[in-house]
Amino acid sequence: MVVGMTMETFLQQLINGLSVGSLYALIAIGYTMVYGILRLINFAHGDIFMMAAYFTYFGIAVFFLPWYVTFIITIGLTMLLGVTIERVAYRPLRDAPKTSLLISAIGVSFLLENVATYLFSGKPQAFPEFPLMTTPFFIGGLSFQPVSIVIPIVAFILMSALLFIINKTKIGMAMRAVAVDYDTAKLMGIKINGVISSTFAIGSALAAVGAILWCMKYPSVLPLMGVVPGLKCFIAAVIGGIGNVKGAVLGGLILGFSEVLMVAFFPALTGYRDAIAFVILIIILLFLPNGLLGKKQVEKV
């Protein structure tokens, strides 16, 4: 198997891994942000991602808006959706046990999936084509789709922007304060609701960007399309150390590369590709319970 593989095939697989991994990274950042601040695993994140894909589909294929207008509207609507979900499903439970919050998140996830099935039918919709992004060009025998190069660049830019916001701006400082100690932050006069809303807005915007790029690469839109990416990106966030933005990117890339490399080196195991995510998760959690870049949790007494 390995012997028969040429350098060209191997390089092509690395390109595949980089683009899938960066997509995972983009979505994983959203998970990690919300967890970092609220200690909540937002299980609806994958479905927010799915809704963003539908917003884009409707903007371009149904209402014939230009793509740049559609992208702005999509990001706006998705942010609104994220903030609304937080307002309706999470805020009333803020002082409730974390388990209730988690169950509420799962409820929102099912609600979004079923609403989407009801409104948009269970049939796949074809996402509009972006020839500029998808027409491949070849270097040697290697095929590059422009979108596969754009994805890692966008992921890197957004990660840097996010790190800047968190570390250098006032709202970022407030976010970090809330993450460290919710009650004390409140006593210090930080407007908790505003901070949490902005967290959800940013997380959802990232999901929207992820969805747009995802659909350019895999142009079909389905009500359940967010389930598997949601799960995998959650795993990516945990691998990198949930709550840590750089960790989410690292986790996403590790996951993307391992999936593709497993397919490359063990073609007979390709049907188990999804299992690799869980295997990596278990191994990392066994040795590094806080993930690769996660901080050690100190229990307060």
Partner 1 sequence: MKKTLALLLSLAMVVTMVAGCSSGSTTSSADSDVIKIGVFEPLTGANAAGGELEVEGVELANQLRPEVLGKKVELVIADNKSDKAEATTAAARLIEKDKVVAILGSWGSSLSIAAGDVVKTNQIPAVALSATNPQVTAGNDYYFRVCFLDPFQGTVMANYASKKLNAKKVAIIQEVSNDYSVGLAKFFTDSFVKLTGDPNAIVATGNYNTGDQDFNGILTNIKAANPDVIFAPGNFTESALIIKQARALGITAPFIGGDTWETNEFITVGGADVEGAVMSTFFDDTNPLTEAGKTFVAEYKKAYPDRENIAAVTALGYDGYMMTLDAIERAGSADPVAIRDALAATKDFEGATGMITIDANGDATKNEAIIKTVKDGKFTYLDSVTID
d(CA 278, CA 232): 9
d(CA 280, CA 289): 12
Q: Which residue has the tokens 């949601």?
A: 230
Q: Which residue has the tokens 């916001």?
A: 165
The angle, 0 to 180 degrees and rounded to 10, between the axes of the packed helices 7-38 and 227-240 is 80
d(CA 125, CA 119): 13
Q: Which is nearer to partner 1, 20 or 248 (CB)?
A: 20
Q: Minimal distance in Å, beta carbon 274 to partner 1? A: 6
Interface with partner 1 by CB under 8 A: which range of 71-79, 137-145, 240-248, 282-290? 137-145
State yes or no: residue 181 binds partner 1 (CB under 8 A). Answer: no
State yes or no: residue 20 binds partner 1 (CB under 8 A). Answer: yes
State yes or no: residue 289 binds partner 1 (CB under 8 A). Answer: no
Q: Which residue has the tokens 């709550």?
A: 243
Chain CA centroid to CA 274, Å: 17
Q: Which of residues 67-126 bind partner 1 (CB under 8 A)?
A: 92, 117, 121-126
Q: Which is nearer to partner 1, 112 or 179 (CB)?
A: 112
84, 220, 283, 295: residue in contact with partner 1 (rule CB under 8 A): 220
Interface with partner 1 by CB under 8 A: which range of 67-75, 149-157, 259-267, 279-287? 259-267
Q: What's the CA dihedral at 154, 124, 137, 212 to 10 degrees?
A: -10
CA distances from 141 to 8, 9, 146, 255 (A): 7, 9, 16, 26
Q: Which is nearer to partner 1, 64 or 138 (CB)?
A: 138
**SS3 category, 63:** coil
The secondary structure element, H or E, covering residue 137 is: strand 137-139
51, 178, 253, 264: residue in contact with partner 1 (rule CB under 8 A): 264
Q: Minimal distance in Å, beta carbon 172 to partner 1? A: 32
Q: What is the secondary structure of 83-126 as a DSSP string?
A: HHHIIIIIGGGTTS-HHHHHHHHHHHHHHHHHHHHHHH-SS-EE
Q: Minimal distance in Å, beta carbon 272 to partner 1? A: 8
Number of residues that bind partner 1 (CB under 8 A): 45
User: CB–CB of 85/44 below 8 Å?
Assistant: yes
Q: Minimal distance in Å, beta carbon 192 to partner 1? A: 19
Q: Which is nearer to partner 1, 6 or 297 (CB)?
A: 6
64, 68, 138, 287: residue in contact with partner 1 (rule CB under 8 A): 138
Residues found near partner 1 in the complex (CB under 8 A):
4-6, 8-9, 12-13, 16, 20, 92, 117, 121-126, 129, 134, 136, 138, 141, 143, 145, 214, 217-220, 222-225, 227-228, 259-260, 263-264, 267-268, 270-271, 273-274
